[in-house]
Amino acid sequence: MEAEKELIFVYNADSGAWNGYMDIMHKVFSPKTYACNLCAITYGTFSIKKEWADFIEGLPVALRFLHRDEWEREFKRKDDLPAVFLRRGDQLSVWLEAETMNEMDLEGLKGYIAARVNGAGTEIA
């Protein structure tokens, strides 16, 4: 039997209302120094971008979204973030590293995911 698979997207931001408020302020007033490109490209000021929500809804793989503190608490790891990890059963590997994620815009992220999930050489399908 094949191991359960999921992509885990981890934001370079902590959970909670206060942290969310501070992230909004940082994105608005100093977007060039905002530390979470995953947040910056998939969310507008107050909510998820419809284009991103529609895209991830159509993906044929399980997805999870965690904040940095949730990731560290659950997986007992500290990683360069934001990043995407592939979990197969008990095995966890970096699927999209922070350095690459930080260079992407929304179209680039969607293209990267679509190619690796649906295209040749995928490790998901």
**Per DSSP, which regions of 24-115 are E strands?**
62-66, 83-88, 91-96
Least confident of 25-29, 45-49, 78-82, 100-104: 25-29
Strand (E) or helix (H) holding 5: strand 5-10
Does 15 reside within a domain?
A: yes
| Number of domain units in the chain | 1
Asked if the structure places residue 40 within a domain, the reply is yes
125 domain residue, yes or no? no
Please give the angle made by the CA atoms of 59, 50 and 74, to the nearest 5 degrees.
60
Is residue 124 one of the residues assigned to a domain?
no
Q: What is the CATH number of the domain that holds 92?
A: 3.40.30
Task: Classify residue 107: in a domain, yes or no.
Answer: yes
Asked if the structure places residue 123 within a domain, the reply is: no
Q: Is residue 58 part of a domain?
A: yes
- Give residue for tokens 């007033």: 29
The model's confidence at residue 103, banded by pLDDT at 50, 70 and 90, is very high
Residues 37-68: pLDDT tens digits? Answer: 888 889 877 788 899 999 999 999 999 999 99
Q: Is the peptide bond before 82 cis (omega within 30 degrees of 0)?
A: yes
Q: Can you say how many angstroms the Cα of residue 38 is from the centroid of all Cα atoms in its chain?
A: 6
What does pTM read for this prediction? 0.80
Query: What is the extent of the structural domain holding 60?
Result: 5-118
Map tokens 């190619």 to a residue: 115
